[in-house]
Amino acid sequence: MADVAYEVTGRIARLTLNRPERGNGITRGLLGELQQAVEQADLDPSVRVLLLAGAGKGFCGGYDLVQSAEGLDRETPVGAAAPPSGSPLDPTVMAANHNPAETWDPMVDYAMMSRNVRAFMSLYHCSKPVLCKVHGFCVAGGTDMALCSDLLVIAADAKIGYPPARVWGSPTTSLWAHRLGPQRAKRLLFTGDCLSGAEALDWGLAIEAPSADQLDARTEALAGRIAQVPINQLQMMKLLVNQALYQQGLHATQVLGTLLDGAARHTPEGYAFQGLAARQGFREAVRQRDEPFGDHGPSTYKG
């Protein structure tokens, strides 16, 4: 079964993250399929807009790091075949787990993680508009795909944010400041708090935040409206607006964000988090990381 389901209906290419049993957790295989699907849609003259969504209970819970964080990975023997995506030997997850007794090479880490950034940014670089539909949850690495899309329609009761800002992560695509402005980006990244879909609309991150039962209908309506515009006009408008972000230094910011992501996993606190995951499991480590914050969003924080 494909990690990213692909279908074209009319003028809309539908890309659906398809690992619902793992919360659509990100693996190298999923990212490879995402890039291929984006390229396929970009080259298809019948397609005018891409619609990115997630199967199951939520859009994406971030990287599939349970095995890696719990210390189950081992080195790939020299000359051995590449490990399957999502396995403990997947380079995407190997970058997350490192023995502090050994030397850490930040450029090996960067080489691995920057490949992921290129996959996320395929959505941004696609010449055609990309509409992202978020339901349930979109957290951690899942936000990289959402923020690299052009427009976000987020269910009012969904949550979106980057909890790894608390420990063990830095947003590699580094789009929060570009999407929200510096002060609101700092508000989220200084706390790791999540926004509800309703808050995301109020903050300008979402273009719409319908109720969960209206999410599909509102997203389809917007995609259909965009698809009425000639493809060359859509491409020109996206190219025009994207230049503004390029001129603001997006590429340089992403290089720094990706390097800092590696650094964040190799701080004393990062190693402590990984050690806790190895002893008690990744989910327990995340629970202990997030429990003091109560997972309150900005509008519900009571101090």
Q: Residue 74: its pLDDT value, please?
A: 33
Q: Residue 75: its pLDDT value, please?
A: 35
Count of domains observed in the chain:
1
Q: Let me know if residue 301 belongs to a domain.
A: no
Task: Give the CATH number for residue 201.
Answer: 3.90.226.10
Q: What is the pLDDT along the chain (303 residues), one digit of tens a residue?
A: 899 999 999 999 999 999 999 999 999 999 999 999 999 999 999 999 999 999 999 999 999 987 566 654 333 322 333 344 444 445 555 555 677 778 899 999 999 999 999 999 999 999 999 999 999 999 999 999 999 999 999 999 999 999 999 999 999 999 999 999 999 999 999 999 999 999 999 999 999 999 999 999 999 999 999 999 999 999 999 999 999 989 999 999 999 999 999 999 999 999 999 999 989 998 899 999 999 998 776 776 544
Q: Residue 301: its pLDDT value, please?
A: 55
Could you tell me where the DSSP H helices lie in the chain?
28-43, 66-69, 91-94, 106-125, 142-148, 176-180, 182-189, 197-202, 215-226, 231-247, 250-264, 268-280, 282-290
Q: What is the DSSP string of 228-282?
A: TS-HHHHHHHHHHHHHHHHHTTHHHHHHHHHHHHHHHTTSHHHHHHHHHHHHH-H
Q: Let me know if residue 244 belongs to a domain.
A: yes
Q: Let me know if residue 63 belongs to a domain.
A: yes
Return the structure tokens found at 76: 């790939």
Q: Let me know if residue 78 belongs to a domain.
A: yes
Q: Let me know if residue 37 belongs to a domain.
A: yes
Which amino acid is located at 115 in the chain?
R
Q: Residue 70: its pLDDT value, please?
A: 65
Q: Let me know if residue 300 belongs to a domain.
A: no
Instruction: Provide the residue range defining the domain that includes 47.
Output: 4-293
Q: Let me know if residue 249 belongs to a domain.
A: yes
Q: Let me know: does 209 contact 155? Beta carbons within 8 Å.
A: yes
Q: Residue 81: its pLDDT value, please?
A: 37
Q: Let me know if residue 298 belongs to a domain.
A: no
CA–CA gap between residue 11 and residue 220 (Å, rounded): 12
